[in-house]
A and B are shown apart, each in its own frame.
Chain A
Amino acid sequence: MRTVKAADVTETVARLCIKANRELPEDVSAALKAARAAESWPLAEKSLGILCENLDLAREKCLPICQDTGLACVFIELGQEVYIDGDLEQAVNEGVRRGYGEGYLRKSVVGDPLRRVNTNDNTPAFVTVHLTSGDGLRITVLPKGFGSENMSRLQMLKPSDGVQGVRDFVIETVRLAGANPCPPVVVGVGVGGCFDKAAYLAKKALLRPLNVPNPDPWYAAFERELLEAINSLGIGPQGFGGRTTALGLAIEYAPTHVAGLPAAVNMSCHATRRASAEL
């Protein structure tokens, strides 16, 4: 067994919350710059120019890229041979509390969805633990903004709907979202599993770097096809028209029941923020 201090988990989560909110991952900023170079529609080119300028300014001024510094979605890959000398979830929450405080990030969490009182420290974090073999420990923080989250959808399709049904559902979701999720968007698609698993897979898809296709060539081709179809919709950056409606699309899939075809689309914005660290 390898022992990891809960205090180290806290310190890491705090640092990742701040880093993720100030600097886009390399793959996302590269996609944004490439899109700007490829765009010839004037308003689209201008809009992407502002977004690129915003990244430089945020880094220079130690400001968050976006004022919606998100719900802190924390993904933990925990080796079975790791012992944590404290409460893991408490350690993560303490890290979020500290990171959102020290980083001057916005506290956007209400403790109850209907009575709506702000918790004032952006906790609780939304923690997903995935057990792995070995003694590794990897933490990823995905601060998830709600302008895009609100445009996400899930549908229990029928097996007879098949590939066409999933295609139509994904395209329709992006079309309905229009300008609201701050395009150019990043689209996470989950297919299969059960009701909750499909939604989880769609969120997990947002963790994959935009330049990494699905390892299954059939799904990689489906990802390319969907991205091309989305970028033919004309919505464009900020919804003002243009080629670049999405920077990337990833599909995660799982086995499912003979009677079902769950499909979920988790929408994310051009500021798809994630930061990871190994402990």
Chain B
Amino acid sequence: MEYRLTTPVTAEMLAPLRAGDTVLLSGTVYTSRDAAHKRLCGLLADGGEPPYELAGSAVYYVGPTPERPGEVIGAAGPTTSGRMDAYSPELLDLGQKIMIGKGTRSQAVIDAIVRNGAVYLGAAGGAGAVMAEGIKSAEMVCWEDLGCEAVRRLTVEDLPLTVVIDPKGNDLYKSGPAAYLASIEKGVTQNAD
């Protein structure tokens, strides 16, 4: 299935998504990766306010290359999401609804996805130029000193993504390879027949 979604989103909007579906995402997406997650959660632990509204928000784990003059952004593919596993459950419990990245997540993150009706979407790893096509504007939100790791507000239009972990907790990194291997097995059996 293919779904078009616009942020901010609610658990109800995400409920029909299933691992393996395509999502074309539009609206606002915040960039954040290792150092920004550490700062954000440090800030929250000290009783501070997050620098943007977390409820219904989407985060993209990306550290883009510098934009060329006249361009919105440089190459902007996803980084490995697992490094944010330590922080994600807390942010999901505070209302973050969409995480965009690549690579496996911990059971604690999957549990938090299910608990909050959130979703983990895969961007094409290593496709920095393709992913940049869907980004229409980028502006600095905070922590500019972090360079490529600073938090930016992106406006995206039909950003092409794949549902990796759906609100039921189904994980495409398990179900995808299993389904492929089963199809091979079946093919072998059919040939034997």
Contact = CB atoms under 8 A, between A and B. Distances in A.
Interface of A: 41, 43-44, 47, 50-51, 53-54, 57-58, 61-69, 104-108, 116, 118, 120, 145, 147, 150, 178-180, 182, 233-236, 238-243, 269-271
A165 to B, nearest CB: 25
A106 B148 contact: yes
B79 A241 contact: no
B128 A64 contact: yes
A57 B68 contact: no
Contacts of B169: none
Given A182-B102, A238-B122, A106 B130 contact: no
18 contacts: A50-B124, A50-B127, A53-B127, A54-B126, A54-B127, A54-B129, A57-B130, A57-B133, A65-B126, A66-B75, A104-B66, A106-B75, A147-B102, A180-B82, A236-B176, A238-B125, A240-B122, A241-B180
B162 interface: yes
A178 B87 CA distance: 22
Report the contact-size class of chain B (Cβ under 8 Å from the partner).
35 or more
Given A66-B77, A238-B124, 15 more contacts: A44-B180, A62-B68, A67-B63, A67-B65, A68-B77, A104-B65, A106-B75, A107-B148, A178-B104, A179-B103, A179-B104, A238-B122, A239-B177, A240-B162, A241-B172
Q: Select the residue from B62, B124, B125, B129 with max chain A CB neighbours within 10 A.
A: B125
Contacts of B160: 50
B128 A239 contact: no
B178 A67 contact: no
A118 B82 CA distance: 22
B137 interface: no
Contact of B64 (A65, A67, A241): A67
Interface string B173-193: 101111111011000000000
Contacts of B184: 234
Given A54-B124, A62-B68, A235-B177, A106 B74 contact: yes
A37 B7 CA distance: 36
Contacts of A104: 65-68, 74
B182 to A, nearest CB: 9
B29 interface: no
Contacts of A147: 79-80, 102-103, 125-126
A82 B179 CA distance: 57
Nearest to B103: A180
A53 B133 CA distance: 12
B127 A234 contact: no
* Nearest 5 Cβ contacts at the A-B interface: A241-B176, A241-B180, A182-B125, A180-B103, A234-B177
Contacts of B80: 147, 150, 180
Interface in B53-70: 62-68
A54 B128 contact: yes
Contacts of A179: 102-104, 122, 125, 173
Contact of A64 (B75, B104, B122, B180): B75
A57 B176 contact: no
Interface string B65-97: 111100000111101101000000000000000
Interface string B22-59: 00000000000001000000000000000000000000
Contact of B74 (A50, A64, A150, A270): A64
Given A67-B63, A150-B80, A180 B104 contact: yes
